[in-house]
């Protein structure tokens, strides 16, 4: 019955990964456990939204702009000016919007979640909650993860709109593109599934950001400094995971959904 701990190179990393997935599963199971913490959920939504809306909008404008500028020059060289709008819409909705959203949800929302749960852990509040027979996962983690997911999905819409508008502005005003051509080509390449995958990505990224933040927060190492380190790690780990998951999702999407017109 002795608890064995394997010790080979990389065992620690595997163990952490396993625990992270275990927490993810716990969260999924506990989402359906009553009573749902509505109050906490609404508060967390409000909190995450309030810290992410402005930075997201501010990031989205230049993001739309660089996509528009880069594509604009490239497409002029190729002689397909009329497709500038189509290309930038595709780039922004499929890739830029979910990533920008997730980075900000992880960076602003996730770090706050991690710091909050981490300080509760070192003050033994989490232990106390467990001893009182209340599951911290159900009570604290689930509302936060759900809030991160919801806010990510909503922000994704915001980034798409702001990004496309930014792209339009820079293309039309600065590069002398034709407004009509830009708007008319919107639906030349983009299709409805692009919007779906964008929102699905945002949903999954929000989940990852929430779970990683909660996981690092529940397991800080050694006192207040540990909480600081945990916040730092949670952001870095989330970013790494986001780009990897984004790569996988994009690859799968491009295989499964045929490009328009083909």
Partner 1 sequence: MGAEVVVEGLTKSFGNQAIWRDVTLTLPPGEVSVMLGPSGTGKSVFLKSMIGLLKPDRGRCLVNGVDIVTCSERQLYETRKLFGVLFQDGALFGSMNLFDNVAFPLREHTRKSEAEIRRIVLEKLDLTGLQGAEKKLPGEISGGMRKRAGLARALVLNPEIILCDEPDSGLDPVRTAYLSQLLIDLNAQIDATILIVTHNINLARTVPDNLGMLFRRELVMFGPREVLLTSDEPVVEQFLNGRRRGPIGMSEEKDAAQMAEEEAHAAAGHSDGSSAEDVRGVVPQLEPTPGLPERQAVRRRKDRVMSVLRSLPSAAQEGIIASLTPDEQARYQVTAQPTPYPRVESISGDLGDPAWPGVRP
Query: CB of 122: closest distance to partner 1 in angstroms?
Result: 10
Near partner 1 by CB under 8 A: residue from 2, 77, 255, 262? 2
What does the block give as tokens for 227?
């909480």
Q: Identify which of residues 119 and 250 has a Cβ nearer to partner 1 in the complex.
A: 119
Helix (H, G, I), strand (E, B) or coil at 3: coil
Query: CB of 128: closest distance to partner 1 in angstroms?
Result: 4
Q: Applying CB under 8 A, does 124 fall inside the site for partner 1?
A: yes
Q: Identify which of residues 136 and 167 has a Cβ nearer to partner 1 in the complex.
A: 136
Q: Distances from the Cα of 257 to the Cαs of 160, 249, 260, 261, in angstroms?
A: 20, 12, 9, 12
Q: Applying CB under 8 A, does 123 fall inside the site for partner 1?
A: yes
Binding positions for partner 1, 167-226, rule CB under 8 A: none
Q: What is the C-alpha to C-alpha distance for residues 184 and 178, in angstroms, rounded to an integer?
A: 10
Query: CB of 80: closest distance to partner 1 in angstroms?
Result: 57
Q: x/- string (CB under 8 A) for partner 1, residues 126-145?
A: -xxxxxxxxx----------
Q: What is the C-alpha to C-alpha distance for residues 162 and 62, in angstroms, rounded to an integer?
A: 10
Contact 215, 137 (CB under 8 A): no
Nearest by Cα to 234 from 56, 110, 121:
110
Positions that interact with partner 1 (CB under 8 A): 1-3, 119-120, 123-125, 127-135
């Amino acid at each position: 019955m002795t608890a064995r701990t394997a010790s080979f190179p990389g065992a620690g990393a595997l163990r952490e990964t396993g625990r992270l997935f275990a927490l993810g599963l716990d969260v999924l199971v506990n989402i359906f456990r009553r009573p749902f913490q509505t109050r906490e959920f609404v508060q967390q939504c409000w909190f995450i939204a309030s810290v992410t809306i402005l930075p997201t909008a501010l990031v989205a404008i230049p993001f739309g702009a660089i996509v528009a500028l880069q594509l604009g020059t490239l497409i002029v060289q190729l002689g397909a000016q009329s497709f500038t709008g189509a290309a930038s819409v595709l780039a922004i909705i499929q890739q830029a919007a979910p990533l920008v959203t997730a980075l900000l949800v992880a960076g602003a929302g996730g770090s706050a979640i991690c710091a909050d749960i981490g300080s509760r852990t070192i003050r033994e509040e989490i232990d106390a909650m467990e001893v009182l027979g209340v599951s911290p996962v159900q009570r604290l983690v689930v509302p936060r993860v759900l809030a991160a997911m919801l806010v990510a999905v909503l922000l994704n819409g915001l980034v798409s709109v702001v990004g496309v508008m930014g792209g339009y502005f820079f293309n039309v005003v600065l590069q002398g593109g034709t407004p009509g051509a830009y708007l008319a080509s919107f639906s030349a390449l983009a299709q409805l599934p692009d919007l779906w995958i964008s929102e699905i990505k945002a949903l999954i990224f929000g989940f990852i950001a929430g779970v990683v933040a909660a996981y690092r927060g529940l397991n800080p190492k050694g006192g207040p400094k540990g909480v600081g380190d945990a916040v730092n790690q949670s952001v870095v780990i989330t970013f790494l995971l986001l780009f990897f998951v984004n790569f996988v999702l994009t690859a799968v999407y491009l295989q499964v959904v045929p490009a328009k017109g083909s």
